[in-house]
Amino acid sequence: MRITDLKAVYPNYKNVPSSWRTHLWQIVVRVESEDGVVGHGYGGGGKAAVEVVNGHMRDLLVGRTVESVEDIFAAWDELYYESIPYGRKGVGVMALSGIDLALWDLLAKSRDVPVYEVIGLRTKDRIDSYATGIDAEWYAELGFRANKFPHRYTGRPEEYDSAERAAERARRIMGPDARIMIDTYMTWDSEFTVEMGRRLAPYDIFWFEDVLTPDDLQGQAELRPLVKPTLIAGGEHEFTHIGFGEAARAGAMDLWQPDITWCGGITAGLRILDIAREHGIPVAPHRGGEVWGLHLIASSDCMDLAEVLPGQRGAPRDELWIGEPFPEDGFISPTDSPGFGVTLNEAML
């Protein structure tokens, strides 16, 4: 299949995530082939990434032929190489992620199979999931057996207590066997993290996510033994197998969470998994309950754990992708439809 067109669009979102974060800045990428097959991908980086796709990467991709996974790998390598001066991490790779996912969707649709089948042998039937957010009562009602809640440390002393209260509450509502995790979104420093390891021990926290900053690999590595058995998790702000290779060498994290729509797509995800396997590091993709990560989890040695963001009870949501699976009894599965199995809601463009 020869690629005849490629275009990125920033959707017209109405309902941005209502939690502690204001926006995920996701973009849509559409790729078209000469035989009329269309692939869709989802990337990060907002309007800046739209400019990267339409203003630069498009010219490199149109005219290329994609018949195999190897062809996608080759396209990825060229786009990465050509964008090195402004890319490597951040917006450049977030743009590349959307293109990569559109190519996987295109290839799978041209074969009339789901993406997980193009990736390889399916390793998981239904996938265990966890709910991210603060509405633990609702998540428990929905059947989730795991919850990750956000906590921010801004330097105020009462935040030691607020973290403990939130952990106690999540444990009480989700039950003694549930997995409870905390997303610190780069606000916990070393001292706070060590103290939380001590104070939250009774609540058996599975992981502390995104402590320090992704640039402080050494600092994270030093925290790992100090908060055991709680894991130091992170990686949603790391990019490509090259970035994760650095994290592996530093021994920075116990568990990796690449975001498949930011880190370089399925192609980078597979390469990151190769490194993780070598180092014995479990991988649980950020937002892995969205189809882009879910198909990878289904057919790889990713952990049997997908992140779902249900929001809060009754809160309105944008339906950009029609047909996205939602967990039942806490388990989620990709559908058998071709590609990623979702349809773009064109009304949002």
The dihedral formed by the CA atoms of 74, 80, 81 and 87, expressed in degrees to the nearest 10: 180
Q: Which is nearer to Mg ion, 183 or 290 (CB)?
A: 183
> What's the token pair of residue 44?
């990060």
C-beta nearest to Mg ion: residue? 183
For residue 336, the 8-state DSSP code is: S
Q: Alpha-carbon distance 253 to 234, whole Å?
A: 7
Q: Which is nearer to Mg ion, 33 or 147 (CB)?
A: 147
307 near Mg ion, rule: CB under 5 A: no
Residues 6+ positions from 262 with CB-CB distance below 8 Å: 43, 44, 45, 93, 94, 97, 236, 239, 286
Question: What length is written for the chain?
Answer: 349
Neighbouring-strand partners of residue 129: 306
Radius of gyration of the CA atoms of the chain, in A: 20
Closest CB 258 distance from Mg ion, rounded Å: 12
Residue 126 one-letter amino acid: R
Closest CB 233 distance from Mg ion, rounded Å: 8
Closest CB 210 distance from Mg ion, rounded Å: 5
* Range in contact with Mg ion (rule: CB under 5 A) among 15-23, 69-77, 182-190, 264-272: 182-190
The dihedral formed by the CA atoms of 59, 63, 65 and 70, expressed in degrees to the nearest 10: -20
What character string, x for contact with Mg ion (CB under 5 A) and - otherwise, covers 183-222? Answer: x-------------------------x-------------
Give 250-284 as a DSSP string. Answer: HT--SEE--BTTTTTHHHHHHHHHHHHHHHT--B-
Q: Which is nearer to Mg ion, 3 or 211 (CB)?
A: 211
Q: Alpha-carbon distance 212 to 60, whole Å?
A: 37
What character string, x for contact with Mg ion (CB under 5 A) and - otherwise, covers 137-176? Answer: ----------------------------------------
Q: Which is nearer to Mg ion, 76 or 256 (CB)?
A: 256
Q: Which is nearer to Mg ion, 116 or 130 (CB)?
A: 130
* Range in contact with Mg ion (rule: CB under 5 A) among 52-60, 181-189, 218-226, 317-325: 181-189
> What's the token pair of residue 58?
């498009």
Q: How many residues bind Mg ion (CB under 5 A)?
A: 2
Closest CB 259 distance from Mg ion, rounded Å: 9
Closest CB 328 distance from Mg ion, rounded Å: 24
* Range in contact with Mg ion (rule: CB under 5 A) among 7-15, 177-185, 220-228, 272-280: 177-185
Residues 6+ positions from 295 with CB-CB distance below 8 Å: 114, 115, 116, 119, 266, 334, 340
Closest CB 188 distance from Mg ion, rounded Å: 12
Q: Which is nearer to Mg ion, 182 or 273 (CB)?
A: 182
Any idea which residue has 């996912």 for tokens? 101
Closest CB 183 distance from Mg ion, rounded Å: 4
Catalytic machinery residues: 286
Q: Answer whether the bond into residue 327 is a cis peptide, omega within 30°.
A: no
105 near Mg ion, rule: CB under 5 A: no
Q: Which is nearer to Mg ion, 24 or 69 (CB)?
A: 24
DSSP percent split of the chain into helix, strand, coil, nearest 5: 40, 20, 40
Any idea which residue has 């549930």 for tokens? 178
- Footprint of Mg ion on this chain (CB under 5 A)? 183, 209
